[in-house]
Amino acid sequence: MRLLTRSRYAVRAILDLAMNLDGRPIFIREIAEREGLSERYLENLFLQLKRAGILDSSKGRGGGFMLAKKPEDITLLEIVEAVEGRISLVECVEDETTCDKVPVCAPHDVWKELANNIREFLRGYTLKDLIEIQKRKLQEAFKR
């Protein structure tokens, strides 16, 4: 299983936004430049994150994006599922009616448990946690 590029980019971009908030909304252009990502791609991701209630935006001269909630209230799971949909390893885990063997299928139970464990793991990390980890990594990098 591999997370899609959109999840990795969404997490990087929202982390960048959170770390660079200084009381004003942030332009996508700024994040794209710092992270080396496509502005157009980020626009799409940020619209999905806005629809999910993670980001807010304002238009006009001082417009841009900002967090809609506190960093401690935004989980990594929310970010990933906002841009990818619900984490599910196989189709029958998400919709048990897709396979008539589900009631007698041992692997189904394993895939379901694994998907739940992944979701719980991602729910255990907040944007605040990522900010703290990023700050620590930056401090360590500058000590070298």
pTM of the model: 0.88
- Each residue's pLDDT tens digit, 11-55: 999 999 999 988 889 999 999 999 999 999 999 999 999 999 999
5-143: what CATH class?
A: mainly alpha
Domain boundaries, the chain: 5-143
> For residues 35 and 17, what is the distance between their CA atoms, to the nearest angstrom?
10
| Residue 83 main-chain phi, psi, to 5 deg | -105, -15
- Each residue's pLDDT tens digit, 60-99: 777 899 999 999 999 999 999 999 998 878 888 888 888 8
